[in-house]
Structure 1
Amino acid sequence: MSDLYEKLKRFQQNTPVQKPSPPALVPSSSTSKPLPDQLLKIPGIVRGSQVMEKIQQRDDAKKKFLSTLGVNEVTNPAGKYGYREIKISNRELPITKEDIGGLEIQTISRDASLAVFNANDFLFFDTETTGLAGGTGTTPFLIGIGFFDEDGFRVCQYMMRDYDEEAAVLHDLVKQIGRFPALASYNGKCFDAPILQARFLLNRLRFPITDMPHLDLLFAARRFWKKMLPSCSLSTVESRILGRTREEDISGELIPYVYFDFLRGIRIERMRPVLFHNVEDVVSLAMLAAKICRMVRHPENECRHGWEWFGLGCCLAAAGMWERTFFCLEQAVLEPSLSLEEWIAINKFLSLSYKRLARMKEAVDVWQRMIERGEDVFAMIELAKFHEHTEKKYAEALALTERAILQMRNRQNDVMANGPATVMYEELLHRWNRLLEKRKNP
């Protein structure tokens, strides 16, 4: 190894160092063709030029089509994007700003921070995205916002005509959001807001709505209509509760595929119902907020079903408005379309509410009608407790306990398969033995 090293060292010492010669200068009188013409002879460059020309023609066609829908190009320091604004006058709007009140919103949302706001303070927003699963890879290509002004209700749409316009959309969206102290959405807390937060983070922008009060109307819709409707999607609530029918619409799960086609310049006219869908969603948010506020303010005019009365009663109970709670729950049990199980569930909540406030006379009345109509074990147990501990009527308490035990034995298969029911059965036996002793030795 050392011999090889010595040979290499001697070879380097004996080899003369040659300085590089300067590059030859091309005379200015050269007859060669200009460089661009030479490049155009390369097949790859020719193909690239043709592709760029087709892309430009595709983008021009998309812009021309969007301009027929009122989508204009807006330029800001971050780039360009499509912007559309729609104004709905007070005469065309089926609601008024006075329909939306802070106290009613606080009641339905159980969020005290929303009590100080009125209709002018809320920014209603909805997004159309490249996927419905959420996550970092999901991009909101169309963001619609709506708000009340002096002339009525205004909807603004921020559209990414291609992925490179996202930064420009978010740049102007931040300014618009900053004008309002509160937000309103439909499932926005779990879907729209996290997606926007991810996109702001990837674009190195501060997410403006992290600490803003946020009214998510999906939770209120579930409280009122979950038992009534096949689903609580915004389109279902809109058609079945608000009575709105969309003439030109598209299913939400198809929207990502329509946008992907639009990016490729394929069937770009299918974006028309997507823009319409987004506008209708934003308008429906305002109408839904007004509807729920009116239900709290004037339930006798707005509640049409027992589950609406029950949902309102639960909201009022959480707010501590007990007299109004009892009124709503008593109205709920009068609903003729309720099944026996539903009717018992509402009466159970009503009786426990009376018991919580020590209004035992009303609670006893509820338990008695539950026993008369449904032979309900819960009502028998509660009434037996009342007779044993309050009235000291051990015979009545024992009779109710025996009746409850018999009812449980008739459902022996359910008792054996249901752990909580088995525990209830054992507690009934224990109460029965205790009541026997009390009756013998009062």
Structure 2
Amino acid sequence: MAGNLRSRLARMRDRAAPSAPRTEHQAPEAFPDGWTTIGDGIRYRETTRSGPVAPARSPVELGAFSRRLDKLACSAGGLAFFDLETTGLSGGSGTVAFLAAFGSLRDDGALSVRQYFMEDYPAEPAFIETLSAEFSRAEALVSYNGSSFDMPLYAVRRAMNGFGPPDPKPHADVLHAARRLWRTTIGNCSLSSIEDSVLGVRRAGDIPGSEVPEAWFDWVKRGRSGLLARVFEHNELDVRSLAALFFLIAEAARGIGWPAACDAVGLAGLQSRVDEALAERTLRQAIAAEGQDARNRRAARPLMRLLGRNGRPAERDELVGFLPDDAAGLFAKSVHAERRAGDVAEALLLAIESAKAAREGGTLAMRALKRVSRLERKLAGLVPDRHSSG
């Protein structure tokens, strides 16, 4: 099947060629330096920068990045940081990956980045086999949005080339953790935005991602290599920043350091997956610092949930006053006023405010209105003095 597909892809490429296609008289431009041909249509290069990123033999807990990875750990040297450059962002069967970067730690802790370049469509089966060999060597995979884009695309291209589904591997997608930490403070959680705001990395002359596909098409159709060097550097730097960000988050989840512009509630959410005591300390610190940052008022609710899970209701109830005055917070304060303080009038006022703040027709609005009705009747002496779910 792979051979037939190779022929079909070659014919498709010929039909789609521009009006001035490359011919044997139009030799391709010189390819960027540092690359070695390792197979028919596949080029390879490896780059290593001095300075350790992390100890290769140190254990890394993956649970902070996803509850699916709870209690999973591997050595830092067993991680494969990867990124694919593709002909588009749709991820459909017509999108092809033509460049891949894999980063892993050497024994001295430096990050080695290996890149593979597919010169043309017919080389795709060999390209897929090369990527498969890299994936198979890893204990776990690390990507940035790879669980939603890169790996599904890789699986599709395997199927299109007659290979079976990829072997399952633990996969930490750093984007999800990054959103928890920086969505409320930075907003844009693209890798380039996090690089700038958190890692302090500012790329010079980086090619925009939207121009990457055209750089490859320019090579395939016209033999022009002018933009390829920038694409290769873009791909390499993505993996280096990914590795730096992964270890920064992994350490913060263990209570080592506090990333720049980090949201305390988001950090506690990651910490709670590996160490609830640490998450509790982070949330309490956020509440104590409420006056410095109004966002920290959000810390009360997750801390109350944590205390409730651990059978500490009295401590949980002490935090009611720290809840924000949104619909849910006002509802909880109403319940507390009735059940703990015995102040039905105050409970009614809070329930009314909760109903006003809730989304009209939503579940919380309906619960708040039901509570208002019951408390009004209770104040009038029309219902027994007992607590209900509303």
Q: Which ranges of structure 1 fall in alignment gaps of 5 or more residues?
A: 1-50
> Could you tell me which amino acid in structure 2 is paired with residue 315 of structure 1?
L
Shift of 1:267: 4.6
**In the alignment, structure 1 residue 232 sits paired with structure 2 residue 193:** no
**In the alignment, structure 1 residue 401 sits paired with structure 2 residue 347:** yes
The structure 1 residue matched to 2:153, chosen from 175, 187, 195, is 195
Instruction: Give the 3-state SS of the residue equivalent to 1:244 in structure 2.
Output: coil
> Could you tell me which amino acid in structure 1 is paired with residue 49 of structure 2?
I
Instruction: Give the 3-state SS of the residue equivalent to 1:97 in structure 2.
Output: coil
Distance 1:233 1:440 in 2: 56
Deviations 1:283-311 (A, max 9, x none): 11211111011112235x3244461x211
Distance 1:376 1:116 in 2: 39
Shift of 1:186: 1.0
> Could you tell me which amino acid in structure 1 is paired with residue 304 of structure 2?
S
**In the alignment, structure 1 residue 182 sits paired with structure 2 residue 140:** yes
| 1:100–1:289 Cα contact (<8 Å) kept | no
The structure 1 residue matched to 2:372, chosen from 405, 424, 428, is 428
- Normalised by the size of structure 2, how large is the TM-score? 0.82
CA gap of 1:349–1:99, structure 2 versus 1, over 3 A, is farther
Which structure would you say has the larger RCO, counting Cα contacts within 8 Å and 6 or more residues apart?
A: 2
| 1:249–1:277 Cα contact (<8 Å) kept | yes
> Could you tell me which amino acid in structure 1 is paired with residue 315 of structure 2?
E
Distance 2:362 2:237 in 1: 47
> Could you tell me which amino acid in structure 2 is paired with residue 328 of structure 1?
T
Match of 1:312 in 2: 267
Distance 1:159 1:375 in 2: 55
The structure 1 residue matched to 2:122, chosen from 164, 174, 190, is 164
Shift of 1:83: 1.2
> Could you tell me which amino acid in structure 2 is paired with residue 420 of structure 1?
L
Match of 1:215 in 2: 172
Shift of 1:88: 2.2
Shift of 1:54: 5.2
- Within 5 Å, give how 1:377-392 maps onto structure 2: 378-386=328-336, 388-389=338-339, 391=340
Distance 2:187 2:326 in 1: 28
| 1:316–1:322 Cα contact (<8 Å) kept | yes
Shift of 1:219: 1.1
**In the alignment, structure 1 residue 65 sits paired with structure 2 residue 31:** yes
Shift of 1:400: 2.1
**In the alignment, structure 1 residue 350 sits paired with structure 2 residue 303:** yes
CA gap of 1:100–1:262, structure 2 versus 1, over 3 A, is farther
CA gap of 1:304–1:159, structure 2 versus 1, over 3 A, is closer
The percentage of aligned residue pairs carrying the same residue is 27
> Could you tell me which amino acid in structure 1 is paired with residue 271 of structure 2?
L
Distance 1:257 1:367 in 2: 56
Match of 2:4 in 1: none
> Could you tell me which amino acid in structure 1 is paired with residue 335 of structure 2?
K
RMSD, aligned α-carbons:
3.1
Distance 1:415 1:272 in 2: 52
Distance 2:38 2:362 in 1: 63
| 2:44–2:115 Cα contact (<8 Å) kept | yes
> Mean alpha-carbon deviation: is it higher for 415-424 or for 231-240?
415-424
The structure 2 residue matched to 1:55, chosen from 8, 11, 23, is 23
Distance 1:337 1:262 in 2: 54
| 1:123–1:180 Cα contact (<8 Å) kept | yes
Instruction: Give the 3-state SS of the residue equivalent to 1:302 in structure 2.
Output: coil
Displaced runs of 4+ in structure 1, greater than 6 A? 438-442
Which protein is richer in helix relative to its size? 1
When the two structures are aligned, how many residues end up with a matched partner? 366
CA gap of 1:419–1:176, structure 2 versus 1, over 3 A, is closer
Match of 1:30 in 2: none
Distance 2:196 2:308 in 1: 39
CA gap of 1:242–1:196, structure 2 versus 1, over 3 A, is same
Match of 1:328 in 2: 282
Instruction: Give the 3-state SS of the residue equivalent to 2:222 in structure 1.
Output: coil
Match of 2:112 in 1: 154
Deviations 1:6-55 (A, max 9, x none): xxxxxxxxxxxxxxxxxxxxxxxxxxxxxxxxxxxxxxxxxxxxx99953
Deviations 1:206-250 (A, max 9, x none): 444x31111111111111111122321111111111111112311
- Normalised by the size of structure 1, how large is the TM-score? 0.73
> Could you tell me which amino acid in structure 2 is paired with residue 109 of structure 1?
S
Larger Rg: 1
**In the alignment, structure 1 residue 117 sits paired with structure 2 residue 74:** yes
The structure 2 residue matched to 1:85, chosen from 46, 49, 68, is 46
CA gap of 1:337–1:258, structure 2 versus 1, over 3 A, is farther
> Could you tell me which amino acid in structure 2 is paired with residue 201 of structure 1?
A
CA gap of 1:258–1:202, structure 2 versus 1, over 3 A, is same
> Could you tell me which amino acid in structure 2 is paired with residue 317 of structure 1?
S
